[in-house]
Chains A and B, each alone.
Chain A
Amino acid sequence: ETGVTQSPTHLIKTRGQQVTLRCSSQSGHNTVSWYQQALGQGPQFIFQYYREEENGRGNFPPRFSGLQFPNYSSELNVNALELDDSALYLCASSSPTQTNTEAFFGQGTRLTVV
């Protein structure tokens, strides 16, 4: 177990709806990154939050947004859901200020858009 927990584990939404996914980071980790993993593909970086600020973003549209809270937990929000948003959404926590601390992933939230 990595200590990174995500909720819910899976959900089904209708095209056009909005969804919020949640992540609790590992104790001592102040950085949270979100990834999208389509079926049969490697995870794709969405964005990273450090000390409640977004400090890096991948090639995803603005309808993907996030938050990080003072306790370093995080949310991923997706508006105007599209069928192609169906994927496993992964949260990873890390602490770049520590030497050789890599990203540890949660079990993911499987989102199905119908």
Chain B
Amino acid sequence: QKEVEQDPGPLSVPEGAIVSLNCTYSNSAFQYFMWYRQYSRKGPELLMYTYSSGNKEDGRFTAQVDKSSKYISLFIRDSQPSDSATYLCAMRVNTGFQKLVFGTGTRLLVSP
């Protein structure tokens, strides 16, 4: 079983839809949770960063962490065709050691 599970998709939605992307994990020691966006043949771009449990909002993006369920989510409101990309969840244990454990990524397609 992988440490981080993520549905690979693809997830297809119409423009303007609310998108929900999710990851589950097995290591209860994870403390830091990130979402990266990756366009085709590019490096991952950091979207959201959350420490421990709770919600964090940044514009159209909301990240949620539920450590009791070992479940994290990324919501995208008013999705745009430019949001079409692969979304990777990532997590790590502590501050000093920067090893990130990634999900496989969910491919999102937003149609005009």
Contacts and interface: CB of A to CB of B under 8 A. Distances in A.
Interface of A: 2, 4, 6, 31, 33, 35, 40-45, 48, 55-56, 58, 88, 90, 92, 94, 96, 100, 102-108, 110
A108 B96 contact: no
A105 B45 contact: yes
A32 B79 CA distance: 33
Contacts of B100: 33, 35, 43, 45, 92, 103
Contacts of B6: 42
Interface stretch (B14-22, B36-44, B61-69, B70-78): B36-44
Contacts of B34: 102
Given A31-B98, A92-B98, A108-B42, 17 more contacts: A2-B43, A33-B100, A40-B104, A40-B105, A42-B4, A45-B99, A56-B98, A58-B99, A90-B44, A100-B51, A102-B32, A105-B44, A105-B46, A106-B43, A107-B42, A108-B43, A110-B41
Interface residues of B, number: 27
Interface of B: 4, 6, 8, 32, 34, 36, 41-46, 49, 51, 88, 90, 95-105
B105 A42 contact: yes
Contact of B43 (A31, A44, A90): A90
A48 B96 CA distance: 11
Given A33-B99, A40-B8, A56-B99, A103 B46 contact: yes
